[in-house]
Amino acid sequence: LENLRFHSEEEKNDEGFARQLAAYADVYIDDAFGNAHRTHASNVAITKFVKECGGGFLMKKEVNYFQKCLEKPARPFVAIIGGSKVSGKLEALVNLIKRVDKMIIGGGMAFTFLKAAGYEVGKSLVEEDLMPMAAEVMKTAKELGVKFYLPVDCVMAPEMSAEAETKIVPIQEMNSHWMGLDIGPATITLFTEALANAKTIVWNGPMGVFEIDAFGRGTAAMVHSVANSYAMTIVGGGDTDVAVHKTGESDKITYISTGGGASLELLEGKELPAIAALDACGGAL
């Protein structure tokens, strides 16, 4: 078969196309966790036209690890959430804040929280429309007794460039014409201390623009801190996975998820379409 995404019916979850695919099989096994959050013909509609369906070993392992950490975590349970935008992680934040003992926020999304808390963040990435939601997450953390950690210093530059001049400044002294592009050394120390007694750690999203060496030290330091903890550690998200392998600590992480979007949806508390489809196996026969 050619790559199924070359067929327009695949992403439309077309039942006619799914029936054609099902004609090749008596048994259907789905082991594509990285695609489990998508509703496509080859992983959702196809299950209606096959008598026997099941999840593969990878699918089982992925779901089991995330269920274990979300439903019966060893505590203290710490979530580290990074990446550039709050909008991409908002539902995960809202779901996790009710489950964790500590939440650590890094990456570009931290500046939306910092601005919502009243700090000057210069030209750093801020989603103004989500500042009220960020404030609500911080309020919920306080009400539930969740320890909520934001950066206390950052690496700033006038632009996102490997050649740019950089400065490490406390959050209270951020230059209004520069942008924050990584967490600073004091924040690394703070976050590492917060992980010291953790028994379960879930991490999704880097601490800075780690693709540029000048802004990658925070993410690398967090990889070492997570890897050297005594916790069950689960890393999800494509960028975080890349950062862990780049740092050479992948063998010390309990589990590295193969699906960025799929793992994020599990952290949001959602049922994945492909897994729900397996339960509805043979429904159209």
> Residue 76, preceding bond cis, omega within 30 degrees?
yes
Output Rg (C-alpha) for the chain, integer angstroms.
Answer: 21
pLDDT for the residue numbered 16 = 96
> Residue 170, preceding bond cis, omega within 30 degrees?
no
Q: Please, are residues 30 and 43 in contact by the beta-carbon 8 Å criterion? A: yes
Residues with Cβ within 8 Å of residue 137, at least 6 apart in sequence: 93, 94, 97, 113
Residue found by looking up tokens 């330091």 in the block: 221
CATH architecture type of domain 75-230 = 3-Layer(aba) Sandwich (3.40)
Helix axes 185-195, 217-227, angle to 10 degrees: 20
- Return the DSSP state at 34: G
Within 10 angstroms of residue 134's Cβ, the number of other Cβ atoms is 24
pLDDT for the residue numbered 285 = 65
- Cα 59 to Cα 70, 123, 125, 136, 263: the distances in Å are 17, 41, 35, 34, 11
Within 10 angstroms of residue 70's Cβ, the number of other Cβ atoms is 19
Look at residues 45, 81, 109 and name the one whose alpha carbon lies nearest to residue 203: 81
Q: Which two tokens stand for residue 104?
A: 């650590």
Q: Which two tokens stand for residue 22?
A: 């099902």
| Residues of the chain below pLDDT 50 | none
Number of residues that this document lists for the chain? 285
Query: How many angstroms separate the CA atoms of 204 and 257, rounded?
Result: 10
Q: Please, are residues 122 and 177 in contact by the beta-carbon 8 Å criterion? A: yes
CATH 3.40.50.1260 boundaries in the chain: 75-230
pLDDT for the residue numbered 85 = 87
Query: How many angstroms separate the CA atoms of 10 and 255, rounded?
Result: 30
Task: Give kind and range of the element (H or E) at residue 102.
Answer: strand 102-105
